[in-house]
Structure 1
Amino acid sequence: MINIKTMLIDGMPLIGTGEPFSVINPATEDIICQCNMASTEQLDQAVAAAKRAYSTWRQTPDAERKRLLHEIADHLEQHADELASIIVQEQGKPLALAQIEVGAAVGWTRYTAELDIPEQVFENSDTRYTTAHRKPLGVVASITPWNWPLMIAIWHIMPALRAGNTVVSKPSGLTPLNTLRLVQIINEVLPKGVVNVVLGEADIGNAISRHIDINKVIFTGSTPTGQRILSNSANTLKRLTLELGGNDAAIVLPDTDINQVAESIFNTAFLNMGQTCAAIKRLYVHESQYEEMGKALADLASQQVVGNGLNPATTFGPVQNARQYRLVSELVEDARRNGGHIICGGEASSEPGYFYPPTIVSNVSKGVRLVDEEQFGPVLPLISYLEIDDAVRMANSCEYGLGGSVWGSDLELAETVARQLECGTVWINKHAEVLPHIPFGGCKLSGVGVEFGVEGLLEYTQLQVINRHK
C-alpha cells in the first residue's frame, strides 16, 4: 500500500469529503491506496486559496520565480526514486521508463524556469511609443490524464507558475498518487496556496470548467471530455489549452530501408504500451514492402518481455486500467471478424493484471474500428497503399489531427508529403518526439492551443498593449 491520499489546499493536507475510491496496480489488480474525492466545497476552498496567493505570487520578481522553479527541480531529483516507484505501481510502465519520465520532468522544469517572456515594441516614433506586455491570467486549473501522470502535470504546472499564475491541479482518479506527491514537494518550496491539488472525476471536472474564479483550464485527455470543458467554460469565457485525442498516421515511402526504420517505428507506436497521445496509431506501408514491414515489427514484438514494471527484466508493462484493456481487446476482435490478420499478439493474458502483448494487425483498412478509432493501447494496424497520394488521402481521412510522420530516404519527397498532412506536428524519420523548446498542439478534434516553448508559455498570459503618446 502507498500512504499518499491527502489533497493539499492552502498548504494544508485534507481528506476529501466526497465518494471513496481505490487506486489499482494494473500489473496485479491489487488496491494500493484508498482515497476520497473532493467535494465541490473543497474545490471552492482550493480556488479561493489560489486566488489569495495570486495577489502576492504575481508580484514575485522574475528572477525569484526562476530560482524557485530550479529549487523545485532540485527537490524532484532528491525524490526521483520514490516518484518513479509510485509511477510504476499506479500506472504500470516499466521502471526504466518511469525513471525517464522523472528525469524528463526535472529537465522540463529547469528549461521552463529559464524561459523569458518577451516584450515587443510596435512603434517608437516622434509621436507614439507603443509596447506589448504580458501579464499572468490568475488561477489556472490543470486536469491531467493517467498515461504520463508526472510528466503531464509538470507540463501544465510549471509554465503556469513561471508566468506568475497560481494553480489548482486535478489528476486522474486512476493515477492520482504521483500528483499528490508532486504537489507536496512543490509546497516544500513555494508559499502556501500557490499550488493546490484536489481529487475527483467528472463532477469536479465540470465544476472546474464552470468556476467563475478559474481564469484558465489546461486539459490533456479525450476529445469528448475536452468538448465538455469547452462547453462548460462558455459562460466565463476562460482561456483554454486542450490537448486531446489523436489517431496519428505514419506513412512509409516506397524507397524506405525497412530494417533501418522498423525499430524506431515500433518504439514510437508502442511507447508506454501505446498509451501516448502522439504515438503512431496507423501505419501506411507501400504494398511492395508491406509483408516485410509486418515481419520486422513482429520480430521486434516477440523480443518484448511483458510483465510487472518493477521486475528489472520487464520491457513492456500492462494496459493501465480495465476499461482500456477491454477496449483494446474489442478492437482486435472486431478487426479479426472483419478479415484482419493478427501477425503477432492478439490474445489477452489469463494471468492477473491488464496484460496485453504488442499486437500487429494487417489486412485492415478504413471502416474497421482499429483504423478509425484511437486504440490508445498496444495494437498497431498496418494499411497498404499503392500510390503516395492514396496514403496521404487515407492519413487525412480522420477527425483527429495531432501528429503524423513520414519515413523515407528521399528527404525532399518526405517533406513534400509531410506538408500535405493535416496535423499539428509532422516528424520525418521520427515520431512522438516532444521537446520543451518546440511548440506542440493539434488541429481538428485534437485540440486548441499549443504547449511548450515561448508560444506555450504565452498561453498562460494576457496581452496588454500600452500606447503612450509623446
Structure 2
Amino acid sequence: MTLFYMTINGQPVSTAGQFAVKNPATGDAVGHAPNGSSEHLDRAVAAARAAFVIWSQTSDKIRARACRDIAEQIGKHAEELARLLTLEQGKPLNGLGSRFEISGAQAWAAHTATLSLPVKVLQDDAQGRVELHRKPIGVVGSITPWNWPVMIAVWHVLPAVRSGNTVVIKPSPHTPLSTLRLVELMNQVLPPGVVNSVCCDDRTSNLGAAISAHPDIGKVVFTGSTNTGKKVMANAADTVKRLTLELGGNDAGIVLPDVDPKAIAEGLFWGAFINNGQTCAALKRLYVHEQVYDQVCAALTDYAKAIPVGPGTDEASILGPVNNAMQFDKVKRLVDAAKQKGRVLLGGAPGEGLFFPPTLIADLSHDDPLVYEEQFGPALPIIKYRDIEDAIRQANDSPNGLGGSVWSSNIEQAKQVARRLECGSVWINQHGAVQPNVPFGGVKSSGLGVEFGEEGLAQYTDIQVVFG
C-alpha cells in the first residue's frame, strides 16, 4: 500500500500514524495518508514565514514563471494525477471527471501566470503623486474540500504564489492523496517553503481549525459548507485574518415558457449532475413554467437515462459513486422524503455501496426538504410554476446565493430575469460554467470575497498607499 507524505520546507514528512483513504466505488484502501498534528502545522507555518521573506521580494516575472512551471508539471503528470484522483474521489476518468479536472487545473495555473496587479497612480499633479500598491499578505492557509480537490487546490494556491505569498494547504481527509502529490510536484519547481502541505484525519486532530486560528497565518481561503465557513470566520476573528470563503449553494434554475425542451435537456442535466451533483455551483432546484413542464420533465428524463454510471476506473463510466457515506446518507434522506410527496421520474433507489443513480423527482413544492436543503448529490427536484414573479420569489427565498440560471430562447428576456436573482453568478441557457478570467463568488450565506481573475488575485494582497 502506497504511503503518502506531507511536504514541509520542500521535504517529505512522515508521521507516526497514518489513515487509510478508501475508493468510494469499492471500499478498498488506495493509499495511506499522514495523520499530522499541530506541531507539524507549526513547522509548516514557520517554513512558509521564512520563505515569505524572500518570495515576497521576487520579481513579477519570476512569480509568473513559477505559475507556468507549475502548469507544466501538472501537464507532465496529468494521467498520474487523474488516476489517483479517481481512486480516492470516485469520479470517472472520462466525461466531466478526473481528466477534465486535471486539464482544468493546468489551464487555471497557466492563466494565473498572465495576471498582474500593477501600481495604480491615484494622483500625479502639482500637489503630489499618490500611488496604490498591492502587497502580499504573508502566509496563506488553504483548506480544501473533497469534491474537486486538485482543481480547488490550484484555485487557492496559484493566486497566492502569483501575488508573492507563501502557502500551507490542508486537504480533506476524504481526498488528500492527489493534493499531497500535487504539492510535491509544485515543490519540484518552487523554492523550499513557498508551498507546504499538512494533513490529518479530522478526528484525532483538527488542523483546519488550527489554521484558521493560527497567529502567523495572515489569510485563510476556504471552500466548503456554510456551517464550517462560519467556524472558520469565528476562529479567524481574534487575529483579524483576511478571508476568502466559497461556501454552500442551493442554485435555482428558472425555465421560461418559450424554451425548446429537447434543446435544453443536455444543459440542464450537466448543470445539475456534473461531478454527480457534488459541486457548490451545481443546479440544485429547477423551476419550470407550467406550459412546458411535462415536456421538460420528459426530455430531461430521456437524456438522463442514457448516462452510464459505474466505477470511475471503467473508461465507459460517465458518473461514479457519491464520495462518502455521510453525503450518501444525506442524499438518501432527502430523496426518501421527496418520494413521499413527489413523482419519481428516474432513479430514487440507492445502488450498491455508495452508488446512487441520477434521480429526478417532479411535482415538489418550494418547502420540501429536497428543495430548500442543499442535497449536494445526484438528485434534482423539479417544481412547476405559473407566474414568473412567484418563480423569482421562490428562487431568491434561500439563505444561499452562489449561482443561478435562466433558460429561454429570448436572451434579453432571460437577462431581465437573471438580474433579479440574488446570487453571485447567473448563467443563460447553461449552469455552473466558471472561467479563470471571470470573478466568482457568492452573496448572502454563500461566501465572502471572490476568486479568479484580477479581482480574485487582489484578494491575496493588502493595499498600501504611497504619498510622494
Call closer, same or farther: CA 1:300–1:4 in 2, change over 3 Å.
Answer: farther
Query: Structure 2 unaligned runs (5+)?
Result: none
- Per the TM alignment, residue 95 of structure 1 is displaced from its structure 2 partner at its CA by 0.3
Q: Is 1:31 the counterpart of 2:29 in the alignment?
A: yes
Give the structure 1 partner of residue 137 of structure 2.
Answer: 137
Candidates 211, 229, 236, aligned match of 1:208: 211
RMSD (Å), alpha carbons: 1.0
1:9 aligns with 2:12: no
The DSSP-based 3-state class of the residue aligned with 1:361 is: strand
| Correspondence for 2:198 | 198
Q: Is the partner of 1:384 in helix, strand or coil?
A: strand
Q: Distance in 2 between matches of 1:280 and 1:68?
A: 35
**Kept after mapping to 1: 8 A contact 2:406/2:417:** yes
Residue aligning to 1:176: 176
* Cα deviation 1:146-167 (Å, max 9, x = unaligned): 0001000000000000000000
Corresponding residue for 2:41?
Answer: 43
Which residue in the other structure is 1:403 paired with?
403
Q: What is the correspondence of 1:446-465 to structure 2 with a 5 Å cutoff? A: 446-465=446-465
TM-superposed CA distance for 1:321, in Å, is 0.6
- State the AA in 2 paired with 1:420: R
Q: Secondary structure at the match of 2:175?
A: coil
Q: Summarize the alignment of residues 284-299 of structure 1 with structure 2, pairs less than 5 Å apart.
A: 284-299=287-302
Among 338, 341, 344, the residue aligned to 1:342: 344
Question: How far off is 1:16 after superposition?
Answer: 3.0
Partner of 1:118: 118
Q: Distance in 2 between matches of 1:113 and 1:432?
A: 24
Q: Within the alignment, does 1:426 sit opposite 2:429 as a pair?
A: no
What is the match of residue 59 of structure 1? Answer: 57
CA apart distance, 1:258: 0.9
Contact persistence 1:23–1:174 (CA under 8 A) = yes
Aligned partner of 1:9: which letter? I
In structure 2, distance between residues paired with 1:127 and 1:419:
42
Residue equivalent to 1:100: 100
Please tell me whether the aligned partners of residues 4 and 180 of structure 1 are also in contact (alpha carbons under 8 angstroms). Answer: no
Checking the alignment, whether the CA contact within 8 Å between 2:215 and 2:239 is kept in structure 1 is yes
Within a 5 Å distance, the mapping from 1:12-411 to structure 2 comes to 12-17=11-16, 20-96=18-94, 97-200=97-200, 201=202, 203-337=206-340, 339-349=341-351, 351=352, 353-411=353-411
Please identify, of 39-48 and 295-304, the stretch whose mean Cα deviation from structure 2 is larger.
295-304
Per-residue Cα deviation, 1:199-235 (whole angstroms, up to 9, x for no partner): 0237211111110000000000000000000001101
Secondary structure of 2:73 counterpart? helix
Deviations 1:67-106 (A, max 9, x none): 1211111111111110000111001111012111111111
Contact 1:16–1:199 (CA under 8 A) maintained in structure 2: no
Give 1:21 shift. Answer: 2.4
8 Å contact kept, 1:4–1:181: no
- Residues of 2 paired with 1:393 and 1:66: CA distance? 45
Q: Percent identity?
A: 52
Distance 1:252 1:376 in 2: 21
Superposed CA deviations along residues 118-155 of structure 1, whole A, max 9, x for unmatched, are 32111111121011000000000110000001000000
* Equivalent-residue separation in structure 2 for 1:265 and 1:156 (angstroms): 28
Distance 2:366 2:272 in 1: 19
Are the aligned partners of 2:23 and 2:30 in contact in 1 as well (CA < 8 Å)?
Answer: yes
Q: Secondary structure at the match of 2:68?
A: helix
Q: Give the Cα separation in 2 of the matches to 1:414 and 1:67.
A: 42
Q: For residue 360 of structure 1, give the secondary structure of its aligned residue in structure 2.
A: strand
Q: TM-score, normalised by structure 2?
A: 0.97
CA–CA distance in structure 2, aligned partners of residues 430 and 131 of structure 1: 41
CA contact under 8 A between 1:4 and 1:177: conserved in structure 2?
no
Gaps (5+ residues) in structure 1? none
In structure 1, C-alpha distance between the alignment counterparts of 2:3 and 2:71, rounded to whole Å: 21
Q: Is the 8 A contact 1:16 1:35 kept in 2?
A: no
Distance 1:370 1:363 in 2: 12
Q: Residues of 2 paired with 1:15 and 1:291: CA distance? A: 57
Deviation at 1:4, TM superposition (A): 4.4
- Partner Cα distance (2:268, 2:132) in 1: 44
Aligned partners of 2:72 and 2:424: how far apart in 1?
Answer: 33
